[in-house]
A and B are shown apart, each in its own frame.
Chain A
Amino acid sequence: MSPRAACRLEALGFQEVYDYVPGKVDWLARGLPRQGAKATEKRAVDVVRHDVVTVRLNQRMADVRPRVGASPYGFALVVAQDGTVLGRLRKAALHGEPGARVEEVMEPGPATVRADTSLNTLRERLDERDLTTAVVTTPEGVLMGMIRRKDL
Chain B
Amino acid sequence: MAKPILYPQLRLLLDQGAQLVEVLPPEEYADEHLPNAINVPLKKLDADKTTVLDNQAAVIVYCWDSL
Contacts and interface: CB of A to CB of B under 8 A. Distances in A.
A21 B22 CA distance: 12
Contacts of B57: 16
A99 to B, nearest CB: 41
Contacts, number: 135
B65 A139 contact: yes
B interface, by DSSP: helix, strand, loop or mixed? loop
A interface, by DSSP: helix, strand, loop or mixed? mixed
A15 B56 contact: yes
Contacts of B65: 22-26, 139
A6 interface: yes
A30 interface: yes
A36 B29 contact: yes
Contacts of B40: 5
Contacts of A17: 2-3, 58-61
A15 B6 contact: no
A41 B55 CA distance: 34
A29 to B, nearest CB: 10
A108 interface: no
Given A7-B2, A18-B5, A25-B65, 14 more contacts: A2-B61, A3-B4, A9-B2, A12-B46, A18-B59, A20-B61, A21-B5, A23-B66, A24-B22, A24-B32, A26-B65, A33-B35, A39-B32, A41-B32
17 contacts: A2-B63, A5-B42, A8-B42, A9-B45, A12-B47, A13-B55, A18-B59, A20-B6, A20-B61, A21-B5, A23-B63, A23-B65, A24-B24, A24-B62, A36-B29, A36-B30, A38-B32
Interface of A: 1-10, 12-28, 30, 32-39, 41, 139
